[in-house]
Amino acid sequence: MDTERIRRVVIAGGGTAGWMAAAALGKLIGKNLDITLVESDAIGTVGVGEATIPTLHVFHQLLGLKESEVMAATNATFKLGINFENWRVPGEDYLHSFGFLGKDCWACGFQHFWLKGLEQGIEYPIGDYCKEHLAAREHRFAVLPDQDRNHAYHLDATLYAKFLRKFAESHGVKRVEGKIEDVRLNADTGFIEGLQLDSGQVIEGDLFVDCTGFRGLLIEGALHTGYEDWTHWLPCDRAMAVQTESTRPAVPFTRAIAHESGWQWQIPLQNRVGNGLVYCSRYLDDEQARELLLGNIEGELLNEPRIIPFRTGTRRQHWNKNCVAVGLSSGFIEPMESTSIHLIQRNIVRMMQLFPSRGIVQADIDEFNAQTVREMENIRDFIILHYNVTDRTDSKFWRYCRSMPIPDSLAHRLEMFRESGVVFKFPPELFGESSWLQVMLGQGLMPERYHPIVDLMGDEELKSFLDNIRKGVRRQVDNLPDHRQFIDHYCKAMPA
């Protein structure tokens, strides 16, 4: 235990991770702290994490940010889910929406009632029993008083960082311009003492937050923490990103389009579209990837495509000594389910919950690391599901994904669902029963039976139960405006 009181916090790196950390620390616990963020204008950020999930509402509420103002400042649109195209087989698609499917009972989830309904000839898609699912398909949305916050955003990550920078600086965070040339360690403890910049200036601190991206200058470069590689389960190792002009009204969902050796994203903002290709370099080289991406986008290019190499996996420790890794320095799970900003947010909140104001305590470090690993492994399993449960055999890439060994934790979930239709969510997990259910069904995994409690409901009662839910969803969605019309009314982007 180090009994030195923590007064000086140094954030290494800007971008989304750095400025989210700065905004939260400055606003929520910064009254008695000296918070400095070091970044260099000469170092670019990845800046393509433009799709989010609904948990970002919690972060904005903590900071007291107004949704419409954040959206207007970041050219944001609403997101109700992700449409997966060609994942099970080419030519088919399914939507993984936010929100909840139907109504559960104490003994089983709604899917068991739906499964029996299929046997009875009530063959409506399961998404018809979810307001967000139906609204996404019909391009409708509105923020209504007292509604559940089951929506997320498509936003400009660079503008989001700028917005948070202004907010953080208004709460006392100091920004220092410069490249980090050396990380100074204490010879006795191995703790980080300061960051030496290219100007010669040394920024000293008590607690350091590593937001330096894939490089992990502090957590890995200085502290040699180690990395657990997950590429045997998630073989894609490169992304190519490009922005295009909008050619049609923005839809309230992200598109994830599977190709022979990876998948393509399309993220509609108010003023442009973010596009990219995630692929495996063992099966597709960069020139082929460029040709594939540019051949499957619409609108004029706004920038040249750029390549982002990555390695899926996790740091062996996310908090090591007096350094906490946040963002890409902590690990990387590919962006299929838009979890990158969520993981930034979780590490920031977790760090504040365990903040070592009276000194670094190993028990706090161990708890932080244990919670982070559990969360990342749950997300990892959910992403592997999309690749492994598929009927595609049309390329070496998909044949590998179908046949690869998977984590025991995921194999157990799949077998339980296949045999009995059961989906469980443990409290700390991000993805709930509705998410697992939609993706497993969408990828072609159907349960062999439903829960016997459903048979206590007679056929007519079951029909009435399902009809009432579906018609209720239909009425709610019919009363919603067009997605684009609501954006223009609620959060139209500010002029450049």
d(CA 463, CA 116): 10
Residue type, 14: G
Residue among 79, 116, 131, 321 flagged as catalytic: 79
Q: Respond yes or no: is residue 27 known to be catalytic.
A: no
Structure tokens at 98: 């936010």
Residue type, 93: D
d(CA 279, CA 258): 10
Tell me the C-alpha to C-alpha distance, in Å, between residue 32 and each of 18, 25, 170, 195, 368.
20, 11, 15, 22, 23
d(CA 178, CA 38): 7
CB-CB contact of 333 with 265 (8 Å): no
What SS3 string covers 405-474?
CCCHHHHHHHHHHHHHCCCCCCCCCCCCHHHHHHHHHHCCCCCCCCCHHHHHCCHHHHHHHHHHHHHHHH
Task: Name the one residue in this structure whose structure tokens are 């050796």.
Answer: 261
Structure tokens at 146: 């007292």
Task: Name the one residue in this structure whose structure tokens are 């040339």.
Answer: 181
d(CA 239, CA 256): 13
Structure tokens at 442: 């969408």
Hey, which residues does 273 pair with through a beta bridge?
244, 268
Tell me the C-alpha to C-alpha distance, in Å, between residue 120 and each of 290, 417, 448, 471.
49, 21, 15, 18
d(CA 127, CA 476): 14
DSSP three-state, residue 175 = strand
Q: Which long-range contacts (CB under 8 A, 24 or more apart) does 393-398 make?
A: 394/90, 394/260, 395/260, 395/261, 395/283, 396/261, 396/283, 397/235, 397/260, 397/261, 397/262, 397/280, 397/282, 397/283, 397/284, 398/260
Catalytic residues: 79
